[in-house]
Amino acid sequence: MDFSTEYETRADAIAELFRATFTASESAEEGALISDLARRLAVETPAEDLRVFTAWEDGALVGGIFFTRLTYAGDPRTVFMMAPVAVTADRQGKGIGQQPIAHGLAALRQEGVDIAVTYGDPAFYGRVGFNPVFEADLPAPQPLQQPQGWIAQSLTKVPLTPLRGPARCIAAFDDPALS
């Protein structure tokens, strides 16, 4: 598997990956919504607030992950949120998703990012180091329908300690359709 951080010239292919993946797993409506989010993230988010990692096998795009900056008004630490994440339907359940996630987290760690957060299945994301957190300790930038899915990890040798909020995400996540 090859990894790439090039996304500017691949925004359409990446958006299509998210459309196909979320259409297959959720619905055509969800596929269109997440595809639009992926495109907006790639096109509208300032480079300093965005990290994109894609996974390729034999020249085919098989996975993609976005990390976007979260800021906390009362905290100087660097925090990135991992969302959305997609792996082609035919490659799911084969460990492919964990590889680009681990690659992306390692790159963020090398860059000096302090904390990574995401919103998803704690059992799955626990395999790559994420643990449940309380919103009181790590405020979410948007209301959470399933608070047990708010998970995080320290990317430094310092244990995760509470962040002083409020939290602010990048503009694309402020879309009410995503709630």
Report the pLDDT value the prediction gives residue 137, as an integer from 0 to 100. 95
Q: Which residues pair with 61 in a beta bridge?
A: 56
Residue 78: which CATH number? 3.40.630.30
Domain containing residue 120: 2-178
Report the pLDDT value the prediction gives residue 79, as an integer from 0 to 100. 99
Mean pLDDT of the chain: 94
Q: What is the DSSP string of 53-110?
A: EEEEETTEEEEEEEEEEEEETTEEEEEEEEEEEEE-GGGTTTTTTHHHHHHHHHHHHH
Helix (H) / strand (E) element for 140: namely none
What mean pLDDT is predicted for residues 69-82? 97
Report field, pTM of the whole predicted structure over 0.85 = yes
**pLDDT confidence bin for 147, thresholds 50/70/90:** very high
> Which tokens hold the place of 101?
């996630």
- Cα distance between residue 106 and residue 113, in whole Å: 10
Q: How many domains does the chain fold into?
A: 1
Q: Are 20 and 88 in contact (CB under 8 A)?
A: yes
> pLDDT at residue 97 above 80?
no
- Cα distance between residue 177 and residue 37, in whole Å: 10
Query: 124: how many CB neighbours lie within 10 A of its CB?
Result: 14
> pLDDT at residue 110 above 70?
yes
What mean pLDDT is predicted for residues 86-110? 89
Report the pLDDT value the prediction gives residue 93, as an integer from 0 to 100. 79
Q: Which residues pair with 150 in a beta bridge?
A: 119
**pLDDT confidence bin for 179, thresholds 50/70/90:** low
Report pLDDT digits (tens) over 12-63. Answer: 999 999 999 999 999 999 999 999 999 999 999 999 999 999 999 999 999 9
> pLDDT at residue 113 above 70?
yes
